[in-house]
């Protein structure tokens, strides 16, 4: 295997979702490096539709405290466990994307933002930072959207939690035979 191939294989194999971190900070310089890598992702017509809103540890603490004051007690009960896990993260990147003027452009923009998000996750892994792509209640809540100033013209893609912690075990993956289909002559699937 070539050196780049070995590195990429190791990077992809080590990228795992970690939902609870050890509470250590992630530096602004590391987050900026990861964001710069994300902006190199493919996008239609180079429109770069992704948007990133970033909190380091202090910002996460402030976000959770502010969110708690803006939701009902029953809502907070539903959000609290996620909020407590988020407080162990060292940084948070909220990813959103411009809607686009047509259904096709919305799909293309969302695909570009998803590619940028994967670049964020792989970039974090390259720096030894663990990550979690969250799309749960806490991240999707209207008040979260409001606190981060996400306008109606943007679609929420995910909250990327960054921090330190162990590499979780690899979950089982389906074999290629179950998820791929090969074509030789466009009339019959080949194996």
pLDDT digits (tens, 9 = 90+) for 40-76: 999 999 999 999 999 999 999 999 999 999 999 999 9
> pLDDT tens across 109-157, in order?
999 999 999 999 999 999 999 999 999 999 999 999 999 999 999 999 9
Distance CA 25, CA 32 (A): 14
Is residue 15 within 8 A of residue 121, CB to CB? The reply is: yes
Phi, psi of 152 (to 5 degrees): -60, -25
**pLDDT for 189:** 64
Q: Rounded to whole angstroms, how far apart are CA atoms 110 and 103?
A: 11
Q: DSSP secondary structure string, 87-127? A: TT-SEEEEEEEE--SSHHHHHHHHHHHHHHHHHHHHHHHHT
Cα end-to-end span (Å), the chain = 25
Q: pTM (2 decimals)?
A: 0.93
Q: Which CATH superfamily is domain 18-165 in?
A: NADH Oxidase (3.40.109.10)
Spatial separation of the C-alpha atoms in residues 117 and 92, rounded to whole Å: 12
| Domain residue ranges of the chain, discontinuous segments joined by + | 18-165
Question: What are the DSSP E strand ranges found in 28-174?
Answer: 50-56, 91-98, 130-134, 154-163
Q: What is the pLDDT of residue 185?
A: 81
Q: What is the pLDDT of residues 163-172, one digit of tens each?
A: 999 988 888 9
**How big is the CA angle at 70 (ends 151 and 76), to the nearest 5 degrees?**
115
Distance CA 53, CA 59 (A): 11
pLDDT tens digit string along 71-112? Answer: 999 999 999 999 999 999 999 999 999 999 999 999 999 999
Those residues with Cβ within 8 angstroms of residue 173's Cβ, 6 or more apart along the chain or in another chain: none
Main-chain phi, psi angles of 38, to 5 degrees: -60, -35
Residues in the chain: 191
């Amino acid at each position: 295997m070539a050196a780049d191939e070995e590195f990429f294989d190791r990077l992809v194999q080590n990228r795992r979702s970690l939902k609870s971190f050890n509470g250590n900070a992630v530096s602004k310089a590391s987050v900026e490096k990861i964001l710069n890598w994300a902006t190199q992702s493919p996008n239609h017509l180079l429109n770069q539709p992704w948007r990133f809103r970033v909190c380091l540890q202090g910002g996460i603490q402030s976000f959770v405290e502010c969110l708690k004051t803006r939701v009902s007690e029953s809502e907070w009960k539903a959000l609290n466990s996620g909020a407590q896990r988020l407080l162990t993260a060292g940084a948070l990147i909220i990813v959103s994307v411009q809607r686009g003027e047509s259904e096709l452009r919305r799909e293309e923009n969302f695909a570009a933002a998803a590619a940028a998000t994967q670049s964020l996750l792989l970039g974090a892994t390259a720096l030894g930072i663990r990550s979690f792509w969250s799309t749960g209640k806490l991240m999707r809540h209207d008040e979260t959207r409001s606190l981060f100033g996400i306008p109606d013209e943007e679609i929420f893609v995910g909250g990327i939690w960054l921090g330190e912690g162990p590499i979780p075990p690899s979950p089982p993956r389906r074999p290629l035979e179950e998820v791929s289909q090969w074509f030789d002559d466009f009339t019959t699937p080949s194996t």
